[in-house]
Structure 1
Amino acid sequence: MAALLCFSCCHCLAAVFLSISSVIALVHGDVHSFNIGHEMERKQVGSCDFFQGSWVFDDSFEPLYDSSSCPFIGGGFDCQKNGRLDRSYLQYRWQPAGCELPRFNGIDFLEKYRDKKILFVGDSLSNNMWRSLICMLHSAVPKSSYQFGSKGQLSFFSLQDYGISVNWLKNGFLVDMAYEQIGKVLKLDSISTGNLWLGADVLIFNSYHWWTHSGHLQSWDYFQYGTNTVKEMDHMEAYKIAMTTWANWVDNNIDPSKTRVFFQGVAAVHINAKEWGDPIHKDCSKQTEPLKGSTYPGPPVPGEAILKTVLSKMAKPVYLLDITLLTQLRKDGHPSVYAGGGPKFVDCSHWCLAGVPDTWNQLLYAALVQ
């Protein structure tokens, strides 16, 4: 009998959720407040596209937290602790074309989402964004008591004074991965653990990077879709099928009057410096400034178009945090050799904290509270 790989401890996680829920009250927003928020989201997107713009150096701009004062960053994202000496990458702010992006206000965020539950579901890029957000909230109320930890695939953070929980559930594919006699099977049309996503006031999903893996980095042996089990297929076609499965789950299970759904979007990687016309460097190493302007000279990210197509066909509202362009321009924002794995380990996929993910949360804040 197949046993779920990614969530074999489903009952254990459910118990953790219940334990946390016993401490943190979950009070859903009413229909009226959600509909007003949704209308304003559409109006804001129509009047100004937050996701088109450029990075502007501002010597008066400082991150909302310092990596040395946030206890939640984790070794791989703490570039300063791992030896990065330059700090100019921390003083670039995202400037949308034609409007201003609201400055993140942690106190306002906490007051508006008092007694709410926010859940990130996704891969390590989701973890990157989650840790950024809890650092931003902690820095707003540094004297408030908090709970922070993990159990199985669930990592949790809560501020007791505000009754808010901000959790991350690791799930890189969103669809099921199962052990079978033939090996690890990625089931493109199956989601059996979606009950763990229910009950949140805000859901922020993410899935893309694991789908691009191949060779020794690939974490599955077979794809399964319907009655077909195959050793190999086009990974982007598999991604499209899986995201359609996820979209159908949201359409069938989410009540928009109680839960607002976001998709984190596809973050760029910088593993080939030729994409931005750099003949000297190989990848993101030794990059100290963003690309200028508001266009990326390299090829598009295939997952971006696929995701937008899937979202456009959904019946329920999902807000896309369309971070692809703003990350494409930030070749300087990765840990590179400052990920804590030694000088031979270069990380051009994740992002330094403080850094670029703080802007993702600024965009999330703009969508949630405006």
Structure 2
Amino acid sequence: MNLKATKTSLNPHLQKKKAVVLPREEGGKVEMAMKSQFTLRLWGLRNRFNSILTMSIALIIVLTIFITMRNGDQTEILAMEAKELSAGSCDLFSGRWVYDNTTYPLYQESGCKFMSDQSACEKFGRRDLKYQNWRWQPHGCNLPRWGSFEDQHGIHKEIDSLRGYELALNTWSEWLEFHVDHLKTKLFFMSMSPTHLSPSGQNCYDEAEPIAEEGYWGEDTNENMMRVVEKVIKSLRGRGVSVQMLNITQLSEYRKDGHPSIYRKQWEPLTKEQQDNPGSYADCIHWCLPGVPDVWNQLLYAYLFPE
């Protein structure tokens, strides 16, 4: 039996190639050998992949430990700061008062230019000053130390009240521009309520009639502040934001007679001695009711519900 057959007639391109047909037993051995070799190669690839994966995981763990150890101090500081400043993870209102004469008081009473005489206990004779050294200590966290006027990295510049007022209004106008739905909201700005405290003239005591002088402006009212308001509102309109100014200042200036004067109660009614000293005790800031403030409400009502 001829076990070899040469195929040359089917394809002229295969004339130089010979197909060898092996006996079934030998063919089976070759096939088994090829399968075994393929299995070994596949097993080797799996082992190599597992080795690479294991080495990668080990490398990641080592790097993590190294970075954690290297930045341990910084991580601890950041964690402490987060614990100190985060109100969400700590009940700031649950704690106790701790006496601290090292870092407290936060500031000196005599060094605070904003101190009101109502709060200046030391200035008016209190000698027991321990009340200044009690610090509030929440359970589980620390309050950040307050000192808005002592920022060593801050830039401090003295500005006059008019410039400060303008800066505040500019901030207000920017907020309106970007955070208010102008299509659904009516915006109003009510100007300042005037006072009649001028030391160069008589205050509001014993006044019974409005001032008749057309266009009267009292010495207590800064007209330049009104100009600043008008300027900011005009700028807003140029940016598509309409604000209606309620100028209550001018019409209220005429009403020097509308203040409580000595006819008032501040915790307790004025004594006879205080009433006899209207230069010190007359209230020329607030208004009697019914009176001037009712007109302010009428003005607002007229804009909200026009006929």
TM-score normalised over the length of structure 2? 0.44
Relative contact order higher in (CA < 8 Å, ≥ 6 apart): 1
**Structure index of larger Rg:** 2
TM-score normalised over the length of structure 1? 0.37
The structure with more strand, counted as a fraction of residues: 1
